[in-house]
């Protein structure tokens, strides 16, 4: 079943009165269990595409279906609730709340979902273990490296038990070892927990790890290849 389905999706920005097509007529379907990269040079529309799929930005035209629901018509509060229940997010930076520890950052999203203390505790510990930070539960973000922070963000994204995780250039601020390491973890979670990942990147080494690569150019799909 498709967890994400876009149909003739476009987004036009006004840049000093000149319309810029950031995303141009993208029709794309992403199935459960995929490990897909959205690639393309800077300015090709990756962020804009992911933001619309994640319900953070509204399309200029076209439709988006997430878990079988049209999200473009939803009201603000409804959309926020929908994101909480269906989508995990990892951003390029500023993912974590600086005053909360790694574990609290992961627990926090489950608190918003009104999960019990015991469940939050258990799942946060498990997930941080899974991303290799079992010994850093009590650290604040500034006490962690950039790579470790992104791993906490991945753990947080999974904590809410979403249908899929959207990661916009999660490795952009990382050195290559940390980037490899993050990809290892994401790939393992994809395999072991059947978590669907859609991530954007313009780093060829990261692209090489994807199972499916969708390439954007000037907002439109240039190619879409699946590897075995």
Partner 1 sequence: MIFKLAWRNIWRNKRRSIISIASVLFAVTIALMMRSMQLGFYARTIDNVVSFYTGYLQVHAPGYEEKKSLDKSFADSGELATRIEGINKVTFTAPRLESFALISAGDITDGSQVIGIDPEREDQLTGLSNKVEDGRYLNAGDNGILLGSGLAKHMKIGVGDTVVVISSGYHGVSAAGRYPVIGTVTFPTPELNSTMAYLDLPEARWFYGATNRLTSLAIMIEGERFLNQVETQVTAMLGDDYEVVSWEDIMPEMVEYIAMDNASGVLMLILIYVIVGFGVLGTVLMMTMERMREFGVLVAVGMQKSVLRGIVLLESVILSINGAILGIVLALPSLIWLRANPIHLTGAGADALISYGFEPILPFSMAPEIFFWQTFTVLLIALTASAYPLFRITKLNSVDAMRTGN
CB 52, CB 205: distance < 8 Å: no
Q: Out of partner 1, Mg ion, ligand ADP, none, which partner does residue 95 contact, by CB within 5 to 8 A per kind?
A: partner 1
Measured distance CA(127)–CA(151) in Å, rounded = 10
> Min. distance of Cβ 83 from partner 1 in angstroms?
5
Residue 129: partners with Cβ closer than 8 Å, 6 or more residues away: none
For residue 198, the number of C-alpha atoms closer than 13 Å in the C-beta half-sphere is 26
Q: Which CA distances in Å does 163 have to 2, 16, 17, 190, 194?
A: 10, 38, 38, 12, 10
Measured distance CA(102)–CA(155) in Å, rounded = 9
Site for partner 1 (CB under 8 A): which residue of 85, 122, 191, 205? 85
Cα–Cα nearest to 168, from 206, 113, 127, 137: 206
Total residues contacting partner 1 by CB under 8 A comes to 30
Q: Is 122 in the site for partner 1 (CB under 8 A)?
A: no
Q: Is 156 in the site for partner 1 (CB under 8 A)?
A: yes
Q: Is 75 in the site for partner 1 (CB under 8 A)?
A: no
Residue nearest to Mg ion (CB): 47
Which stretches of the chain bind ligand ADP, using CB under 6 A?
Answer: 13, 15, 20, 22, 40, 42-48
C-beta closer to ligand ADP: residue 161 or 220: 220
> Min. distance of Cβ 45 from ligand ADP in angstroms?
4
Which residues 25-64 are close enough to bind Mg ion by CB under 5 A?
47
């Amino acid at each position: 079943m498709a967890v994400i389905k876009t149909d003739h999706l476009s987004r036009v920005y006004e840049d000093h009165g000149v319309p810029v097509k950031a995303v141009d007529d993208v029709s794309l379907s992403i199935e459960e269990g995929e490990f897909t990269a959205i690639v393309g040079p800077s300015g090709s529309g990756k962020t804009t595409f992911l933001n619309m799929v994640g319900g953070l930005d509204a399309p200029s035209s076209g439709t988006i279906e997430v878990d079988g629901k049209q999200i473009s018509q939803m009201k603000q509060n409804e959309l926020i609730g929908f994101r909480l229940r269906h989508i995990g997010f990892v951003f390029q930076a500023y993912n974590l709340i600086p005053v909360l520890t790694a574990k609290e950052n992961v627990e926090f999203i489950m608190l918003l979902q009104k999960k019990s203390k015991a469940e939050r505790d258990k799942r946060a510990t498990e997930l941080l273990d899974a991303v290799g930070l079992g010994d850093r539960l009590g650290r604040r973000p500034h006490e962690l490296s950039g790579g470790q922070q992104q791993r906490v963000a991945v753990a947080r994204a999974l904590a809410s038990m979403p249908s899929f995780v959207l990661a916009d250039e999660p490795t952009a601020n990382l050195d290559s070892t940390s980037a490899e390491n993050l990809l290892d973890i994401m790939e393992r979670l994809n395999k072991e927990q059947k978590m669907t990942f859609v991530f954007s990147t313009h780093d060829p080494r990261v692209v090489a790890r994807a199972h499916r690569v969708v390439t954007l150019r000037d907002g439109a799909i240039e190619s879409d290849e699946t590897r075995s």
